Amino acid sequence: MGSYAKATMTGFVCRLCSEHKKSVIHFYSAKAQELELLRKLTLLPITIEKYDNLPKTICHDCIEKLNLQYRLIERIRKSFEIQQRHRLFHSNGRCPLECPLYGIENYLQQRNVK
């Protein structure tokens, strides 16, 4: 049996916020795979390596924040794609029916008037 003073509790420390939590999810667990945590973590300016000596867990608060960030980035990417396609349809300055943003100008004008 080892010394309690030398024991480390890295399994209960969140890798992102460094706080001790009672409930965490391990990055390589089935639940983490279901939540696609490793893919979402690639959005952050950190690297997660399977065999480094840092915590491999994330708390539920950080998962919520990570999901919010992920949804925002996905929304921005989709919007950017629509805007890029929108530009391709305009040769005369008018928005043709085939344009992904067709009718958006009228919608925006109606919102500003009311």
- Residue 37: exposure state from Cβ atoms within 10 A (0-12, 13-18, ≥19): buried
99 is in an annotated binding site: no
> Does 59 show up as a binding residue in the annotation?
yes
According to the annotation, is 95 in a ligand binding site?
A: no
Give me 57's structure tokens.
């867990």
Would you state the structure tokens that stand for residue 5, as one six-digit string?
Answer: 């003073």
17 labeled binding residue: yes
Residues annotated in a binding site = 14, 17, 59, 62
Binding-site residues for Zn(2+) sit at 14, 17, 59, 62
